[in-house]
Structure 1
């Protein structure tokens, strides 16, 4: 059963996240650039800094991008969806609309170089898969100026919870999140805990708890960056095992 609310954004919710989410209003941001990585088949898109694993199996596919430090926000922007347009370049493909991508990786800064430092702070940058880059620009360009804005994520099915870690330390990957797409806060409740327990952001969209929850059915409260919360009650049965994925409700 899904329960929604417009709860306040968590105190740990950073100014960087607030900046990124402000673009969800539909305003275009113009001071950004895009490059590409991998090959035409997306062979280098399998894993990344968000923790999603196989992007094809998990439904993200090639419509993804690695974000620069200014946008990545320590992994909290993972899962957010953007529209991107090529602008003000002879290499932009004419009469082409925006592409839509999901943030699934991090484009790390390189402070040892004096050129091609697109992912260094404070620059806003998207490192696209090659197939997505070719939808808006010519290959020979290498890098193009773009404008972008946040858009809602439309997902098939429910939110997914992948259980990892060990019996005494549970790490949960939250993915396939609709609506705002990026997760700002997660709480968990076991069938014997009697209350909701605050989970701690670990990396990407992985959230952890040291509470011993083995042998209990599990419920989740997930709050997105827009402050909306969805509650998935008893979506994980008491006989759960590490490595299993369970499906809850979605935004």
Structure 2
């Protein structure tokens, strides 16, 4: 065997090993699995403002579609996010811990608040990002009800530097499924989700169907086109940490549009 042929074989062998190693690294780059006992991220920097109690922006539950936030268990511990954080509504239902930093005049020392994402803070391109356009890209901005803002800072502060981190959501009771629609169109609002909080995939099953994947309509409203009437309904819900909970026969056979049912909950 010639020396050139040996060199060629060794070179090909090295390339194959390198390719296989790279493939192994790529294959292992799966979405992270978060421990429920620890925060999901480290502290990061952002800013926060508030809106007054008379502001009507939450009448429809905001951009996530949760409806009456008090009635549905969210209360005033809610937040709207700027474009840089909102992720086109996929973050709806996630929980964040906020604390005021840097401004010793207005911050309430040693305090923090945990809020659930229920709304979107739209950009205002008529104003500069460092002026009135608080929610313009690439700003990371949180907008809180004044009742929540006053847990961490004096209201006179207006726009405040804060730190935030993703947290596990703690909710009372099970996941809520509000069923709406008409005929063969079925829309389900999924709320009160513990754990990671933000739902990324949903399946629905009737007693006469297999598991049917639902599409995201907007916020945490999911839809499917199928005849599901006159049969009990089950749901499979997956959150962003890739944890899945299945609730069997949540809705009875005689369910009707406009009703809400409660299923299992994430631990």
Would you call these one fold, judging by a TM-score over 0.5? Answer: yes
Instruction: Tell me if the contact between 1:91 and 1:144 (Cα under 8 Å) persists in the aligned partners.
Output: no
Task: Tell me what 2:239 maps to.
Answer: 224
**Higher gyration radius (CA):** 2
- Give the direction of change, closer, same or farther, for the CA distance of 1:91–1:172 in structure 2 (3 Å limit): farther
Q: How does 1:119-134 map to 2 (within 5 A)?
A: 119-134=135-150
Q: How does 1:29-44 map to 2 (within 5 A)?
A: 29-30=44-45, 32-39=46-53, 44=57
Q: Please give the TM-score of this superposition, normalised by the length of structure 2.
A: 0.81
Deviation string, structure 1 residues 160-182 (Cα, Å, up to 9, x no partner): 00001112111100000010111
Give the Å deviation of 1:95: 2.2
Give the Å deviation of 1:105: 0.7
Task: Tell me what 2:97 maps to.
Answer: 83
Q: Give the helix-richer structure, 1 or 2.
A: 2
Give the Å deviation of 1:191: 0.6
Task: Tell me what 2:173 maps to.
Answer: 157
Quote the Cα distance in structure 1 between the aligned partners of 2:127 and 2:203.
41
Matching residue within 172, 190, 199 for 1:174: 190
Give the Å deviation of 1:124: 1.1
Q: How does 1:45-124 map to 2 (within 5 A)?
A: 45-46=58-59, 47-114=61-128, 115-124=131-140
Q: Secondary structure at the match of 1:241?
A: coil
Moved over 6 A (4+): none
Q: Please give the TM-score of this superposition, normalised by the length of structure 1.
A: 0.86
Q: Secondary structure at the match of 1:199?
A: strand
Give the Å deviation of 1:24: 4.3
Quote the Cα distance in structure 2 between the aligned partners of 1:167 and 1:33.
45
Q: How does 1:166-245 map to 2 (within 5 A)?
A: 166-193=182-209, 195-245=210-260
Instruction: Tell me if the contact between 2:203 and 2:214 (Cα under 8 Å) persists in the aligned partners.
Output: yes
Higher relative contact order (CA 8 A, sep 6+): 1
RMSD, aligned α-carbons: 2.0
Deviation string, structure 1 residues 184-228 (Cα, Å, up to 9, x no partner): 1101111101x2111000101000001121112111000001000
Instruction: Tell me if the contact between 1:76 and 1:184 (Cα under 8 Å) persists in the aligned partners.
Output: yes
Instruction: Tell me if the contact between 1:42 and 1:62 (Cα under 8 Å) persists in the aligned partners.
Output: no
Q: Secondary structure at the match of 1:49?
A: helix
Quote the Cα distance in structure 2 between the aligned partners of 1:157 and 1:42.
29
Instruction: Tell me if the contact between 2:126 and 2:133 (Cα under 8 Å) persists in the aligned partners.
Output: no
